[in-house]
Each structure stands twice: as structure tokens, then as C-alpha cells.
Amino acid sequence: MRRAAFLDRDGVVNIDYGYVGRTADFHFVPGAPQALARLKKLGFFTVLVTNQSGIARGYYTVQDFLTLTAYMQRRLTAENAAFDAVYFCPHHEDGTAAEFRKACPGRKPAPGMILAAAAEYDLDLEHSILIGDHAGDLKAGAAAGVGLLYLVGAHIETEGAKLPPGAKIYKDLAHLAAQEFCKDA
Ligand SMILES: [Mg+2]
Ligand SMILES: [Zn+2]
């Protein structure tokens, strides 16, 4: 079994402008690609787990999301930092697109995407980490049994009060990687 690093996307990997659906709006958080490369070099299997209710809400399509994901992965590949797996939940119970209108067990704070990845790739959740910018991300990790939970990003003051026990807080992914995973990688 491999240990994994589960990462939320918007607000962790890229700047969260709200429902980012197109490449023109995708800008990496400074240092995030290098931090991802470090995690991979240390042996973490990197998994993106992202709620994409913008699809259910009709703001962009599944194809837009996949196009953006391919763009992100090309950029990350240049830094040896591409995600090993990508999971997304296009659903929301208030969605306008009937096809995607439902309460989904994959949508964080539910643990469905993490559990699906663990089953598909034989991941050791107890020795895995999860990094998010909202308490709901960390709650999904806690519900799945992920061993170490980290909050980063712009909302640490408001979200920090709602975290599962044992969670740690850093300014951003770069600071987290530098301080927690600096061993000669
Ligand atoms: Mg986020
Ligand atoms: Zn879903």
C-alpha cells in the first residue's frame, strides 16, 4: 500500500476566483507546483479531489473541466509535479442541470472521492495526508480516516475554528512542504 497526498484544488493548487472553469482563470498559487513535486519525490501518490458543483450549476461543462485539467497537468508535468490521479464531483443538490442534480456521497465533506481513490490505487489512508483550504475538505479526510490533515490558504482564520482535531495550519502549500517535508528532497 502506498501513502497518498490528497489535495483540494481551488485555493490550494490554484488561486480561487470562484468556480474556476477555464484556463484563462487558472493561476497557480505561488510555489504550489514545486511543493507538489516535493511531495511526489518523497513518495506520496498525489490525488486531486475537487468538488465541481459549477458543472451542476451550469457555469461550465464536464468537458471544460477536463480541458482545464489537461492544461493543469501539462503545466505540472514540466515541474515533475503532475497529479497521479484526479477525482471530481460534478454534482450538487441545487443544480440547474438535471443530470448532475443530486446529493452525492462524493461531494466533500463526504469522503466518497477519497475512498474511491484508496480502493482504486490501494492507498494507505492512515499514513496519508490531506490538504485543503476549507474545513469541509478536512472533514472529508477525517471521515475517510486520512492520518494527517492540513488547512492552508486564504481562509485559515475563519475555517481554522471548525477543524477536526489534530489538524495543522499553514499559510500555503509551499510553507507546508518546506516545514513538514524538507528532508533532502
Ligand atoms: Mg478549495
Ligand atoms: Zn458526485
Catalytic residue, from 10, 16, 137, 172: name it: 10
Distance from the alpha carbon of residue 118 to the mean position of ligand 1, in angstroms = 21
Q: Each residue of 36-58: pLDDT tens digit?
A: 999 999 999 999 999 999 999 99
**% pLDDT > 70, the chain:** 98
Asked if residue 83 belongs to a domain, the reply is yes
- 10 as an active site residue: the answer is yes
CA dihedral 133, 139, 143, 147 (to 10 degrees): 50
Nearest CA to 85 out of 126, 106, 113, 63 is that of 113
Number of domains present in the structure of the chain: 1
Asked if residue 78 belongs to a domain, the reply is yes
- Provide the whole-model pTM: 0.97
What CATH number should be reported for the domain holding residue 168? 3.40.50.1000
> Do 18 and 96 touch, CB atoms closer than 8 A?
no
**Contacts (Cβ under 8 Å, ≥6 apart) of 137:** 8, 49, 108, 109, 130, 131, 151
For 123, the domain range is 4-180
d(CA 67, CA 181): 31
Asked if residue 95 belongs to a domain, the reply is yes
Q: How many CA atoms lie within 13 A of 146 on its CB side?
A: 32
Total residues found in the chain within this entry:
185
What's the pLDDT at 104? 98
Grid cell, residue 142, equals: 477525517
Q: Each residue of 119-166: pLDDT tens digit?
A: 999 999 999 999 999 999 999 999 999 999 999 999 999 999 999 999
- 8 as an active site residue: the answer is yes
Asked if residue 185 belongs to a domain, the reply is no
